[in-house]
Structure 1
Amino acid sequence: MLLKDAAKEFEFNCKCRKLSDKTIRNYSKLISYLLEYLKNKHMVLTLEDVRPAYIKAYIMELQEQGKKPQYINDQIKAFKVLFRYLYEEGYTDSILTERIKNVKMPKTIIQTFTEKEVRAMVDFYHGQSYMQLRDKLMIMTFFDTGIRVSELIGMKLSQIKEEYIIIYGKGNKERVVPKSPMLSKWLFKYINTREHFFEYRHVPENVFLSRNGRPMTTEAIHRVLKIAGKASGVNQDIRVSPHTCRHTFAQMQLKNGLDLYSLSRLMGHSNISITQRYLEGLKDDEVLRACKATGILMNI
């Protein structure tokens, strides 16, 4: 079987599984790098001629080129998904990547916003116009729910319930995130203003829309956050972005005593090991305070 045909069939399978377009594009791009390497370095064009040693050699070459561990591990993940699919379809007698390990990742402490910075960013947009309310509510939603920027962009009015929001995450997986009374209050104000602002126009059901009635873009949301972060005097070492809001949500939930398994569900993580990264940023005194609040003898 030609490797290019195997890659194409795998892509069709990803579409059947309803993976996001972004995930499919990423898999296809990373797999194409391996196929190009196998062709140029080992003159391998068919699946039958692929050897695990060739894949390992490619990974070593990436390391020698100074590629970051996360970048290399993203490639390994794509290869593993591909070769597992080919094995399950009966094209190979074994999973060619079964003994290939991820590259060791350096431990990095996730820099998050302080409570003071969160308050300042939320309070920065304070007008009653549609744009001011929209920008304020987007920031509030990030901090109150920990959702991804793509989830916020795709959120529809019908997903907002009285005490929670239904979120459709990666792979269109559904999860429920609670919303605070504070967020509910501002959502009510915003939705009323939104209805009046677009009263005579047909617009999408997306909660957050541009001035012209189109769904928000990632770039526009980043800009809203950066303006608020700069005006609020956020530490220059912190990257002001929706993902940092998500990190802040996770760490503050852990500080307040939420267990790791519940947090993992709220974040929409496929594996709890992903959620565990947020523990590394907690300081000893923060862990101690959380333990006091959740101690067994004081809560029975």
Structure 2
Amino acid sequence: MGAHDPRAGKPVIRGNNRAPMKSKSHYPLDTAFELFFSVKKAEGMRERTLADYQSHWRYFRDWLSESYDNITLGEITQTVLREYLIYMSNGRTKYDGVDNRRLEGETLSPTTVAIRLRTLKTMFNFWAKEQMIDINPILNLKPPKKDDDEIGAFTDEQLRLLLSMPDTRSYAGYRDKVLMMLLADTGLRINEALRLTTEHIDVKGRCVHLPAAMNKNRKPRIVPISSEVMRHVFDLVNENKAYFDTHHIFVSNYGEPLKADHFRKRLQQYGAKAGIEDQVRVSPHTFRHYFCKMYLLNGGDIFTLQRIVGHADIATTRKYIQMDDESVRIQHAQYTPLSRLGMSKIIKRR
């Protein structure tokens, strides 16, 4: 999603025809959010999380402004929140109002809706604990169900095509290819990869040491790297030293740390050039899906995978056990017990 997500057109349900239920608490919305935000900032929440709080609140606040006149915190009921949930799921246009990103007829994915609802739950739980609202309206509100096949990953052929697109004769092209290889080889999140410096790389141990501050769950972790990918990372570091005064691994043509949005745009260009943009979502996170899926398909155990990718909940890792029909056929052919018995030799036809 872009940083700015203004709405256009009419919301699903207008509030002019009926007013929400009144409450004893009449805290102004912005005052309530400012208190919540200042407390979370004082608690040491990550900058990325704080930024999500701000953007998710802005989306909700914009919708409220058009749907209800002068609504206060205590007047937000479960009905109001459910209307917003319906609006996000069905009543909006994806990237509406964002320059060059308007997609007609597309709504937010169930995952995005669930993330924004989770943010609102954090806020309303805080306000309820602070006794700023009489009743917590979000307690029994559930996110939309996700499709079983929602997790998309590259196929091996799609990844090969994508990796062949960058022009490695240029610095930017070689850097992009190394970054793609690293993401596919380790399952790192894009922000984790882009924050890597030379001090995080253990060449002899062939791994990355991620400190707690760089991890989503605030726990340090060690991420192994294959020898081939480590060699390319080492070569990129040496090239950086020759031209830039930086300790970052992935930098722009001017030596500044590479931005995630810039890489996403270049990745989409590679996907279009490879002709796979209509087959799979070409994004940095799809490399993470690819790594997780292929790790399990190749015989890796789920608990080791959880540690490598830094999932706080094993339930998140279990989602990658869901396989498509082709993957099931491949696994069956490889592991069926009869294949070890050599049935074609045992059964002889007359």
TM-score, length-scaled by structure 2: 0.69
Structure 2: stretches of 5+ with no match in the other structure:
1-26, 93-106, 338-350
1:19 partnered with 2:45: yes
Contact 1:38 1:45 survives alignment (8 Å) = no
Contact 1:121 1:229 survives alignment (8 Å) = yes
1:265 partnered with 2:313: no
CA distance in 1, matches of 2:191, 2:256: 15
CA distance in 1, matches of 2:159, 2:63: 46
Superposition RMSD on alpha carbons, in Å? 3.3
Matched residue SS, 2:153: coil
Q: Would you tell me which structure has more helix in proportion to its own residues? A: 1
CA distance in 2, matches of 1:32, 1:171: 25
CA distance in 1, matches of 2:129, 2:305: 33
Deviation by residue 1:170-217 (Cα, 9 ceiling, x = unmatched) = 36654321111122222222222221223xxx33x2111112111112
1:60 CA drift (Å): 4.3
Structure 1: stretches of 5+ with no match in the other structure:
294-300
CA distance in 2, matches of 1:43, 1:290: 63
Contact 1:163 1:179 survives alignment (8 Å) = yes
Contact 2:251 2:257 survives alignment (8 Å) = yes
Q: Which residue of 2 aligns with 1:189?
A: 235
Q: Which residue of 2 aligns with 1:52?
A: 78
Partner amino acid for 2:300?
L
Q: Which residue of 2 aligns with 1:8?
A: 34
Contact 1:264 1:275 survives alignment (8 Å) = yes
Between 61-70 and 277-286, the greater mean CA deviation after superposition: 61-70
Q: Which residue of 1 aligns with 2:13?
A: none
CA distance in 2, matches of 1:36, 1:231: 37
CA distance in 1, matches of 2:111, 2:162: 30
CA distance in 2, matches of 1:217, 1:253: 28
CA distance in 2, matches of 1:60, 1:223: 30
Q: Which residue of 1 aligns with 2:328?
A: 284
Between 246-255 and 187-196, the greater mean CA deviation after superposition: 187-196
Q: How does 1:1-300 map to 2 (within 5 A)?
A: 1-35=27-61, 41=68, 44-47=71-74, 49-60=75-86, 62=88, 65=91, 67-68=107-108, 69-92=110-133, 95-122=136-163, 127=168, 130-161=171-202, 162-167=205-210, 168-170=214-216, 173-198=219-244, 202-203=245-246, 205-226=247-268, 228-229=270-271, 234=276, 236-282=278-324, 283-288=327-332
1:259 CA drift (Å): 2.5
Q: Which residue of 2 aligns with 1:298?
A: none
Which one scores higher on RCO, CA 8 angstroms, separation ≥ 6? 1
Deviation by residue 1:95-124 (Cα, 9 ceiling, x = unmatched) = 442211122223334443232443454455
Could you tell me the percent identity over the aligned residues?
24
Partner amino acid for 2:72?
L
TM-score, length-scaled by structure 1: 0.79
Contact 1:256 1:290 survives alignment (8 Å) = no
Between 246-255 and 181-190, the greater mean CA deviation after superposition: 181-190
1:6 CA drift (Å): 1.8
- Change in CA separation of 1:6 and 1:109 when aligned onto 2, cut-off 3 Å: closer
CA distance in 2, matches of 1:251, 1:57: 36
CA distance in 2, matches of 1:33, 1:229: 30
CA distance in 1, matches of 2:263, 2:62: 37
1:145 CA drift (Å): 0.8
1:126 CA drift (Å): 7.5
1:28 CA drift (Å): 2.8
- Change in CA separation of 1:36 and 1:112 when aligned onto 2, cut-off 3 Å: closer
1:256 CA drift (Å): 1.1
What is the aligned length?
Answer: 288
Contact 1:19 1:172 survives alignment (8 Å) = no
